[in-house]
């Protein structure tokens, strides 16, 4: 699963969370002596260099870093399932995690690290 709206292609590079995030954004407001009023409804802007913090793990970076997040192990398994033609595969993320041999993945990761 991935984000498709305001957070399209954004994901925490540390924990893989898809939302929510705190993003440093700019907004235009009309200012009075006793307060402010937002005048461009929905016009809250940020860019690739804006600071973003993951609510789940508090990892802080730029939006660019979160947009370029590598796939998580779960994403990788889903890509493999799709590549193997498991169309219509409807298991939940939790069911996939239960079915994965995590020790096998750790062994593969350790081997790749050793080879570097
Ligand atoms: Zn996170």
φ, ψ of residue 78 in degrees (nearest 5): -65, -35
Of the candidates 20, 15, 3, 114, the one whose C-alpha atom is nearest the C-alpha of residue 74 is: 15
Between 48 and 74, the higher pLDDT residue: 48
Over residues 51-64, the pLDDT tens digits come to 999 999 999 999 99
Alpha carbon of 73 to ligand 1 centroid (Å): 14
What is the structure's pLDDT at 52? 97
Alpha carbon of 58 to ligand 1 centroid (Å): 6
**pTM of the predicted protein model:** 0.57
Per-residue HEC secondary structure of the chain comes to CCCCCCCCCCCCCCCCCCCCEEECCECCEEEECCEEEECCCCCCECCCCCEEEECCCCCEEEHHHHHCCCCCHHHHHHHHHHHCCCCCCCCCHHHHHHHCCHHHHHHHHHHHHHHC
What is the structure's pLDDT at 21? 96
Give the residue-averaged pLDDT of 17-23.
Answer: 94
d(CA 4, CA 6): 7
Between 108 and 26, the higher pLDDT residue: 26
Alpha carbon of 22 to ligand 1 centroid (Å): 11
Alpha carbon of 11 to ligand 1 centroid (Å): 8
Over residues 25-40, the pLDDT tens digits come to 988 888 999 988 877 6
Q: Identify the band that residue 9 occupies on the pLDDT scale cut at 50, 70 and 90.
A: confident
φ, ψ of residue 98 in degrees (nearest 5): -65, -35
């Amino acid at each position: 699963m991935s984000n498709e709206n305001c957070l399209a292609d954004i994901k925490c590079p540390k924990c893989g969370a898809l939302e929510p995030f705190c993003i440093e954004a700019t907004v235009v407001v009309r200012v009075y002596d006793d307060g402010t009023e937002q005048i461009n409804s929905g016009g809250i802007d940020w860019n690739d260099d804006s600071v973003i913090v993951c609510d789940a793990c508090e990892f802080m970076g730029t939006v660019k870093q979160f947009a370029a997040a590598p796939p998580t192990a779960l994403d990788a398994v889903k890509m493999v399932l799709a590549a193997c033609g498991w169309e219509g595969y409807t298991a939940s993320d939790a069911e996939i995690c239960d079915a994965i041999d995590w020790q096998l993945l750790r062994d593969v990761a350790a081997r790749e690290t050793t080879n570097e």
